[in-house]
Each structure stands twice: as C-alpha cells, then as structure tokens.
C-alpha cells in the first residue's frame, strides 16, 4: 500500500516535471503580460505562476484526460483576477510603501485577505482602473507593454490574443457575456495600438495610423 503510494507520487512528479519543462516558458510569459511587469523583473508573475503550477500539481491525479496546460492557464487567470480584486479593494496595503516592492507580501495578510474573497465579486473588481498599488510600487521599475491597460483588459487580451482562447471560453472563465469580452478586447487593442497620451508605441509598419 505504502509502496504503491510512493510510486504514484514519483510518477506524478515525473509527469509534472516534463509538463513544467515544456509549458513554464509560455505560461511565465503570459503571467508577465498579465501583471504588466518587465520580462527581466517579474516577481509578481513568478509568484502567480508558482501558485498556479502548485495547484495544477495538486489536482494532477484528477485531470482525467484534461489538458494540464489549460488547467494551469485557467488557474493563472483566476488567481490574477482575484489578486486584482484584492488590490482594488485594499489600495493602501503595506507592500505599496517604500522601495520593497510587492516582493515582500506578508503571508498572513495574504491568507487573511484570501479568506474574504468571493468568486462572485470578481467581474466588478476587474472592471475599474489599473491596479494602483502595482503601479505605485513599480514607479521606478521598467514596465511591460500592457501597463496602460486595466487588469481586466490585460486578462481578456492575453487570453484572446496571446493564448488564442475562444471568445466563448474566455467569457465563461471570467463570468462575462461574449459581447462584453468582444468589446473589452477591441478597446484593449485600440488602446495598445493608439496610446491616448500621444506617445506612440513601438509598432510594426503594418498598422495604419
């Protein structure tokens, strides 16, 4: 019995290792786009991905033929959405002060806040504004290409354009209507291609101005 348990653990760890080796690069890129961090300085994206992968590992035996990549991506999106909600609800968290950055989030505070989270409140949370503490904390740090967008726009854009998830699936995952996803995606694309402040993004020449 114990022997069987150990061999099952070893097999799961082996499968998971090959999955991480293959998928971590792309997932980390997606996470970095979501958090709007620079590719060379992305502690929040790394934390997000580690948590999503840990959950994927914990549910590995229950996948039953489901794609682990899709599961990890879903976890990434849901965790990012929850994080955005938390930042939106509590804009004056201690980690937004000083030069420490979001790397030193106290674990107890995170757990305490996580207990208060409810999935039903996610859509409202994502709708408004960019996540202010991230912007404040990252004032002196280089930022990613999507830093102009709100968390919701980033989430929809990354799922639709980078990951190629269908509109219907994106809508189901985020609890939005298909039309809403379409609108948000179009708005995010416009903001990205035509920045409002007059500063033009570094874009290829195929885009008509």
Partner 1 sequence: MSRYDRREAAIRQLLEGTPPVVPPDLYGEALRRGHRMLRRRAAVRRVLWALLCAVVLVCTVWALSARPWDRPPSDTTPSFTTW
Chain residues binding partner 1 by CB under 8 A are: 13, 16-17, 20-21, 24-26, 28-29, 32-33, 39-40, 42, 45-46, 49-51, 53-58, 60, 145, 157-158, 161-162, 189, 192-193, 201, 203-204, 206-208
- Minimum CB separation of residue 111 from partner 1 in Å reads 12
* CA nearest to 61, candidates 123, 8, 7: 8
Give the nearer residue to partner 1 in terms of CB position, either 15 or 135: 15
Tokens at residue 128, please? 């408004």
Closer CB to partner 1, 131 or 163, in the complex? 163
Q: Decide whether 13 or 100 has the Cβ nearer to partner 1.
A: 13
CB of 124 to partner 1, least distance (A): 26
Q: Which is nearer to partner 1, 78 or 90 (CB)?
A: 78
The count of residues in the chain is 209
Least Cβ distance, residue 16 to partner 1 (angstroms)? 7
Among residues 57, 67, 54, 52, which one has the least CA distance to residue 9? 57
CB of 51 to partner 1, least distance (A): 7
Residue 162: CB minimum distance to partner 1, A? 5
Q: Toward partner 1, which CB reaches closer, 165 or 192? A: 192
CB of 44 to partner 1, least distance (A): 12
């Amino acid at each position: 019995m114990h022997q069987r348990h150990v061999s099952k653990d070893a097999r799961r760890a082996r499968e998971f290792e090959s999955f991480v080796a293959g998928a971590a690069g792309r997932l980390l890129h997606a996470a970095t786009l979501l958090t709007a961090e620079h590719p060379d300085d992305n502690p929040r994206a790394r934390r997000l991905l580690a948590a999503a992968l840990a959950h994927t590992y914990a549910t590995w035996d229950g996948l039953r033929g489901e794609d682990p990549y899709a599961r990890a991506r879903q976890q990434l999106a849901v965790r990012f959405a929850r994080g955005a909600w938390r930042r939106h609800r509590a804009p004056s968290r201690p980690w937004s002060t000083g030069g420490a950055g979001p790397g030193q989030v106290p674990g107890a505070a995170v757990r305490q806040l996580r207990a208060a989270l409810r999935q039903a409140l996610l859509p409202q949370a994502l709708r408004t504004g960019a996540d202010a503490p991230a912007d404040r904390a990252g004032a002196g740090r280089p930022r990613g290409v999507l830093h102009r967008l709100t968390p919701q726009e980033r989430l929809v854009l990354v799922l639709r354009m980078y990951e190629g998830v269908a509109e219907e699936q994106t809508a189901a995952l985020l609890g939005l209507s298909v039309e809403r996803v379409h609108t948000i995606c179009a708005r995010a694309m416009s903001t990205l291609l035509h920045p409002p402040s007059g500063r033009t993004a570094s874009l290829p020449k195929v885009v008509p101005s």
